[in-house]
Structure 1
Amino acid sequence: MIVSAHQPYFCPYPGFFFKPMHSDVFVLLDSVQFPRGGTWITRNRFKNDQGAFWMSIPVWKKGKGLQRIDEVEICHEGSWKKKHLKSLYCAYADAPYLEQHLPLFERVFSDAYDKIADMNRDIISYAMDSLGIRTQVIRLSETKAGGAGTGLLVNLCRTLEADGFLTFRSAWKYLDEGLFRRAGIETLAIEPPEIVYPQLWSDFVPNLSVFDLLFTCGPKSREILQRGRHKVRCADSVAH
């Protein structure tokens, strides 16, 4: 069984989904420390007639100190939810599949969620379902795996009785491959290609939210992602 893991990003870019596409279990790392400064957990990019624009979810940080991702609360003050919905309407009014996915955002931009991790989990699960990815999704907080860094990932694989761990090739340098090897766990790497597809407005902008793809390409989105399917062993990827 192959396991992959990633922090629960907000409306992730298409390449994010190569991990669950190539693994049997996909773990959302929701009980690790919430990053300081800007983070993809609370924002991502969409596109309008002016180019790429940011959509951010305000969260409570002041006076909270260090928080785990699953502890971070959404700030419901202000009119940002109405503004975000209006931004999507205006930017994607001509997108053929906007209406199909709007109910998700109407729920997201309501008071349905208190925690950013809960909201992002549902968004990611929805996107996976829309892309035809049936991989099991669990949260780190639902397991008994502990530790930090590579040790945490090794313990996670042991807890789930996995014999393989999949990561992005660009993240390989941050892992201690020896820990995996001594635990009898094979390490695999994948390098997501640039996903190119028809977009609204002017020139193509790479790595927008996956919903830019879903709004414009609908059921063809999975086929577009599958064009770049490729998996290699980490040892081979480093050698090259």
Structure 2
Amino acid sequence: MVSSALLLTAYAPPASYVAQCLRFPRVVIEQWENYQKGSFRNRCHIASSHGVLRLSIPLWQGKHQRMPIREVRIDHRERWAKNHLETLVTAYGSAPFFEEYYDLFEPVYLKRPAFLFDLNLELLQAIAKALRIPCAIELSREYERIPMAECADLRQAISPKERNMHPGLLGWNPIAYPQVFEEKHGFLPDLSIFDMLFCLGPESILNLNEGLTDIR
């Protein structure tokens, strides 16, 4: 029986990623992989007045292609954290639950973690706390090309390159909810979980649960 999911590290991950923490009692974050560009490892998508906006974390000495993920450093010279926080204020300042949840995440940014993996993990833990998710979040003990049968390998299932999700694999479909720029752009599915939290607040977990099609 499949009882856990194996995921890559992700920056302020999309709702489909966080939904796996409700689908499975245990989620394992891969810490022995190598960094690859074009992923959610150092980027997230939020809503803006112009539509979907990508926020990217600059990395020290370029893209770190094929470097061990735990060794990838954040380049704080670009003041990216200040820019991302200001962008969140601009995009979601009018959202009904913005202030309540922004105060949970801002300290993580202000700590200026040196490593990308550490930042992502701290944000994920803060997100789980905000949603009151009982799922156990653990780190992989070693790299396994093919994980054990009881672990669902979702490392390549959630990617900005494939915005059309595969419900059969992820066991989740996005359920529409009121968004800040919905009148202008319509519903924008599977954005960073920040979007759902700022717009729905405590009801976010109900929305995520409603979208589940396969609970383990």
TM-score above 0.5, yes or no: yes
Greater relative CO (CA pairs within 8 A, separation 6+): 2
Matches within 5 A, 1:104-183: 104-140=104-140, 143=141, 145-147=142-144, 149-150=145-146, 153-154=147-148, 164-167=150-153, 171=157
CA distance in 2, matches of 1:63, 1:94: 34
Q: What TM-score results when the alignment is normalised by the length of structure 1? A: 0.76
For residue 44 of structure 1, what is the amino acid of its counterpart?
C
Unmatched runs of 5 consecutive residues or more in structure 2: 158-167
Task: Tell me if 1:206 matches 2:186.
Answer: no
Secondary structure of 1:227's match? helix
Question: Which residue matches 1:59?
Answer: 59
Pairing 1:61-80 to 2, within 5 Å after superposition: 61-62=61-62, 66-80=66-80
| Identical pairs, percent | 25
C-alpha RMSD of matched pairs (Å)? 2.4
The answer as to 2:209 corresponding to 1:226 is yes
* Structure-2 change in CA distance of 1:91 and 1:139 (3 Å): same
Q: TM-score with structure 2 length normalisation?
A: 0.83
User: Is 1:194 matched up with 2:174?
Assistant: yes
Residue in 2 aligned with 1:103? 103
Is the radius of gyration larger for structure 1 or structure 2? 1
Off by >4 Å, runs of 4+ in structure 1: none
Label 1:64 to 1:146 Cα distance change in 2 as closer, same or farther (>3 A).
Answer: closer
Partner of 1:23: 24
How many residue pairs align between the two structures?
201
Partner of 1:2: 3
Give secondary structure in 2 for the equivalent of 1:77: helix
CA distance in 1, matches of 2:211, 2:81: 35
